[in-house]
Amino acid sequence: MSSNTVTNPTAKEQLPARESVCHECDLLVAVPALQEGEQALCPQCGNVLAHLPNNPRVGPPVFALTSIIMLMCANVLPFLAINAQGMVNSMSLFEAASVLFSEEYRVLSVLVFLCMQLLPLCCLGLVCYLYLGFRLRRRPPPLAASATRWLFLLLPWSMVEVFLVGVLISLIKIASLAQISVGSGFWCFCVFSLSYLKSMLYLDKGWMWEQIRGPMPEIPLLLEGQNALAQGVTHCHGCDGILLADAVRCPRCQSVVHTRIPHSIEYCVALLITSCILYIPANLLPIMVTESLGTNIYSTILAGVILLWNMGSYPIAIVIFVASVLVPIAKILALFWLCYTVRKGEVHHRRGRTRLYRLTEFVGRWSMVDVFVVAILVALIRMGKLMSIYPGAAAMAFAGVVVVTMIAAMLFDPRLIWDRRPR
């Protein structure tokens, strides 16, 4: 396949056979040709090397356009409403962030708005731009390379599904205090979340760069099943291509090439220490303040968990406890341990440690659910002296913990786990 043309869009897609380097264990693997619906896994660590979903040209733009329409409807139509002792208050989806801004929590407001609306909308727009160009223009659209780089850069920070879980938890929290009515905007947001997740599941970095710039130049005399760096080649994180280890930039996507992330352990440890410092006020200070009949009730994260447990909402209490208490602690400890084992030169349980890293990278974003719950409750419960909820000082500190630990996981290079071989 040439770099400027694509095949007949009605024909079945195929990802041609090629060599690939696993970005988690640095193993050079001969990936066979993939048909639609197939994926290739690294035989050493189990990481997904490549996948080709069904209808890779049709599915992404269809689900992306559906998501954009549903998001617009969710912002225009009523989202949630509450009725407490005859006093009614409603909120729109946009107010989940705008009310925080009016309460002088502007950084937190911007973070919530970015994660739940703006960044997902940017990702959907980029998907539509790229895939409609692949299908309609029969060639990559202008600036396709820059659009692809931005798409995969923004993708980890889009937390649509986490916000939806936060909405559901908020509904259960409020159900014992007042009567709740769900607007049509809420159902539009549910459809938006499902369509968004479906569209992003189609994405494969290697396949997309094959359409934009064609295959990478072949490097002869490589041995499959061996360490890539030992053979003088490395993996490009920008386009999943293979190139010489002494290259400065990738010839296909122009990304800066590093055989290993520079100062990976040092940066990771520094960020973990920062997250530990932020974690103390995040748990000791109140995350939200409830004003009821002139009396202020201060709630910490653990106090909220205990309240849900006493209300009989055991599953939700467990979800909040796991996402807001256990996951941050476990992620910090796991990354500390991974850094320690790499620095020590540990050679045992490398596959297990790689799986642990993969798990910490996946679950870290779910800790934002408590921040989203606060944003929803603050926007919805605004009834003056009768009952109003305000964000607490811990909300910003906890959001900082989530963001810092996510960056720490991104800067940790799992290939360091596999660099030292057992005797």
Q: In the chain, what percentage of residues exceed pLDDT 90?
A: 31
For 383-409, what is the mean pLDDT? 85
What is the per-residue pLDDT for 7?
Answer: 40
Its pTM stands at 0.87
The yes-or-no verdict on residue 201 having pLDDT over 70 is yes
Residue 9 has pLDDT above 50, yes or no: no
Using CA atoms, how far residue 108 sits from 115, 207, 373, 375, 391, in Å, is: 11, 36, 13, 9, 10
Helix axes 369-380, 160-175, angle to 10 degrees: 50
Mean pLDDT value of segment 360-366? 87
> Would you say 80 and 94 are in contact if contact means Cβ atoms under 8 Å apart?
no
Please report which confidence band the pLDDT of residue 304 belongs to, taking 50, 70 and 90 as the band edges.
Answer: confident
- pLDDT at residue 422, as a whole number: 59
- Render pLDDT for 135-167 as a digit per residue (tens, 0 to 9): 766 677 888 889 999 999 999 999 999 999 988
Taking only the tens place, the pLDDT of each residue in 161-173 is 999 998 888 888 7
Q: How confident is the model at residue 336 (pLDDT cuts 50, 70, 90)?
A: very high
pLDDT in tens, 39-81: 889 998 888 888 888 888 888 889 999 999 999 999 999 998 8
- Residue 5, pLDDT > 60, answer no
Whether pLDDT at 3 is above 50: no
pLDDT bucket at 218, cuts 50 / 70 / 90 = confident
pLDDT for position 74? 93
- Residue 1 pLDDT: 32
Q: Does residue 112 or residue 313 have the better pLDDT? A: 112
* pLDDT digit string, tens, across residues 16-33: 888 888 888 988 988 888
Question: What are the pLDDT digits (tens) for 267-287?
Answer: 999 999 999 999 999 988 888
